A and B are shown apart, each in its own frame.
Chain A
Amino acid sequence: MAVAEVTEAVTAPLRSNRRRVVRRILHNPLALTGLAVLAIAVILAVFANWLAPHEPTQTHLDRAFAPPGTAGYLLGTDDLGRDVLSRIMFGLRASLHVGVLAVAFSLVVGVPLGLIAGYFRTVDALISRLTDLVLAFPFLILAVGLAAIRGASLGNAAIAIGIAQIPGMIRIVRSETLRIKSLDFVAAAIVEGASDAWVLGRHIFPNAGSAIIVQATVGIPAAILGEAVLSFLGLGIQPPAPSLGTMLADAQQFASRAPWAAVMPGVAIMLLTLAFNIVGDSLRDALDPKASRR
């Protein structure tokens, strides 16, 4: 009963907090623009099968190097006459797929480990050492190793990017856990005899939520850039499957002949990551009680 009362006291301000965050985002034109760009990108990616004017892998050799604006090929074609716009739509799908998959992976592994490291001091040193170990292998080296062992594919790229994001997730969740654990209401719950699992699940995890959401929002654009890099190097999505990274790698060969094939996919990546970063920044500002004072 007493524990439930404490929980009530904690969740009530949380709820009004959520309303304040939504209001702040809705009053921020930049954040709304970011959200709109994301919505368009998601729609283009999800419904690419219906929206794309051409098959992304279909070649039209007689239409090779068609400049943007050519009838039926809004953004032009590449060296094999493949429609750049259609390939970008399917490439967006691959980017979002890897982004979400990688961040989901880092959440599933990182959040529990971060909670445990912050709450139980006995295993903290062990988890922190393992975190250091993962950090000692820069993301690309990790991905290179994984590609060498398991082969290059979308899934393996997502795993490599996800592994690289786990240490950051652990650190954020761990420091949030340490902070919340020292607050009075958590001490009160522990004194009341609440179990560790209860305290972690009911008090610490919900209150660490906003930090986790912000970290995940920042993680997605980083993962998208990571996928582009891996596919560009030939370690990610394999041709002819369309990916924004492989499109750039291909276009590098004939960039002076058809610059649009090199410009467009890069602009698509930039708009996508820019939108995610803007939304992430606005979310962080909206969640930060100090931000209003600044």
Chain B
Amino acid sequence: MRRYLLNRLWQSAVTLVLATIVVFAGVRALPGDPALALAGEDRDPESLRAIRQQYGLDQSWLVQFWQFVSHAARGDLGESIRTGTPVRSMIVSALPVTIELSVLAILIASVIGVGAGVIAAVRRGRPAEWAANALALLGLSVPHFWLGLMAILYLSVALGLFPASGFVPFFTDPVANLHHLILPALILGTGLSAVIMRQTRSSMLDALSADYIRTAEAKGLSPKAVVGKHALRNSLIVVVTIVGLQLGALISGAVVTERIFALPGFGKLTVDAVFQRDYPVIQAVVLVTATAYIVINLLVDLLYSVIDPRIRVRGEA
């Protein structure tokens, strides 16, 4: 277990270093002189030189890279070119919205996906399985941002069931907060729930034909107890795996969902930064996303080895 842990930590560290290099090099590959962009209207050589000195642009790449890394490690991600606000505070205010949205979406997707998957596996060959499979296929195929548009158009604007856009912080008003987030989370969760449903169904089918289930049935356990126990244990593994695998899709989906529902989250920050060519912000959001992805994947893998003992053994071998 310890060896697996160290190995996994080392892999994540290498990936993180490589990701930092890619982000750094990527921003330098952007067209145009950053000093010119920073100077704005004021383009005489004297002020350009001052800007280059201020931002360390006259230093070698190696020095610049070291400064970028050491500043980032201390949480200093620079300032927005457009507003002069520290990028760090922009991220700190946007991140909770996205995290809450994603966690809600994962919860909703797990409940729907596991429920439908178990039903499809247990009711094999009946209309219930057919319906669950059809829903999963539909969930994988429907563009969820379009589903969001339709939900706003028909549920929010026409029927007035949900607010069409905007956000209320949780600590200001928890009920209004959930009311604003439930529809976006439901939309974001659709694709994920389809993937979870399919995986739950196939792992349940495998489990139901396994010897230990026959043993459990033979010794007189009720079908409910058999399915309940194994559905719970297996679906936990499935959900954790899928969340790890689909994390990238989830982050991408959150960006679009925030855009549609006008939520002031991380995705909106990213898209706005690209359109305004706000390079320090782009650099920071990409770095934060990559770091979050690597760390969450590490946690998922570790959690996975806790839930499923077979992984532990394989990791040591």
Secondary structure at chain B's binding surface: helix, strand, loop or mixed? helix
Indicate if the CB atoms of A137 and B19 lie closer than 8 Å. yes
Indicate if the CB atoms of B137 and A136 lie closer than 8 Å. no
Looking at the assembled complex, report how far the CB atom of A194 sits from the nearest CB atom of chain B, in whole angstroms: 30
Of B10-18, B176-184, B220-228, which binds chain A?
Answer: B10-18
| Most chain B CB inside 10 Å of its own CB: which residue of A233, A234, A270, A273 | A233
Known: A139-B248, A225-B143. A255 touches B282 (CB 8 A): no
- Which residues of B275-295 are within 8 A (CB) of A? 275, 277, 282, 285-286, 289-290, 293-294
Instruction: Say yes or no: is A98 at the interface (Cβ < 8 Å to chain B).
Output: no
Of B25-33, B60-68, B86-94, B302-310, which binds chain A?
Answer: B25-33
Instruction: Say yes or no: is B216 at the interface (Cβ < 8 Å to chain A).
Output: no
Indicate if the CB atoms of A145 and B252 lie closer than 8 Å. no
Instruction: Say yes or no: is A278 at the interface (Cβ < 8 Å to chain B).
Output: yes
Name the residue of chain A whose CB is nearest to the CB of B12: A132
Indicate if the CB atoms of A129 and B149 lie closer than 8 Å. no
Hey, what's the 0/1 contact readout for A256-268 against B, CB within 8 Å counting as 1? 1001001101100
Indicate if the CB atoms of A138 and B289 lie closer than 8 Å. yes
| Most chain A CB inside 10 Å of its own CB: which residue of B145, B147, B150, B152 | B145
Looking at the assembled complex, report how far the CB atom of A76 sits from the nearest CB atom of chain B, in whole angstroms: 15
Indicate if the CB atoms of A141 and B274 lie closer than 8 Å. no
Residues of A within 8 A of B150 (CB): 262-263, 266
Hey, what's the 0/1 contact readout for B223-265 against A, CB within 8 Å counting as 1? 0000000000000000000000001110110011001100000
Number of A-B contacts (CB under 8 A): 132
Hey, what's the 0/1 contact readout for B129-162 against A, CB within 8 Å counting as 1? 0000000011011110111011011000110000
Indicate if the CB atoms of B271 and A137 lie closer than 8 Å. no
CA distance A262 to B26 in the complex (A): 36
Residues of B within 8 A of A228 (CB): 143, 145-146
Instruction: Say yes or no: is B270 at the interface (Cβ < 8 Å to chain A).
Output: yes
Q: Pick the residue among A140, A164, A221 that contacts B141 (CB under 8 A).
A: A221
Q: Pick the residue among B137, B259, B274 that contacts A281 (CB under 8 A).
A: B137
Indicate if the CB atoms of B256 and A133 lie closer than 8 Å. no
CA distance A262 to B157 in the complex (A): 14
Indicate if the CB atoms of B137 and A137 lie closer than 8 Å. no
Name the residue of chain A whose CB is nearest to the CB of B202: A294
Looking at the assembled complex, report how far the CB atom of A62 sits from the nearest CB atom of chain B, in whole angstroms: 26
Known: A149-B29, A149-B30, A281-B137. A137 touches B149 (CB 8 A): no
Q: Using CB atoms and an 8 Å cutoff, list the residues of chain A in contact with chain B.
A: 129, 132-133, 135-141, 144-145, 147-149, 164, 221, 225, 228-229, 232-235, 248, 251-252, 255-256, 259, 262-263, 265-266, 269-270, 273-274, 276-278, 281, 294
Q: Using CB atoms and an 8 Å cutoff, list the residues of chain B in contact with chain A.
A: 11, 14-16, 18-19, 22, 26, 29-31, 137-138, 140-143, 145-147, 149-150, 152-153, 157-158, 205, 247-249, 251-252, 255-256, 259-260, 270-271, 274-275, 277, 282, 285-286, 289-290, 293-294
Contacts A/B (CB < 8 Å), 28 sampled = A133-B19, A135-B293, A136-B16, A136-B293, A137-B22, A138-B248, A139-B248, A140-B251, A140-B270, A141-B289, A144-B274, A144-B286, A148-B277, A149-B29, A164-B248, A225-B143, A229-B143, A233-B255, A233-B271, A248-B143, A259-B153, A262-B146, A263-B150, A269-B146, A270-B142, A274-B142, A276-B141, A294-B205
Q: Which 5 A-B pairs rank lowest in CB-CB distance, beginning with the nearest?
A: A266-B146, A140-B252, A138-B248, A274-B141, A273-B141
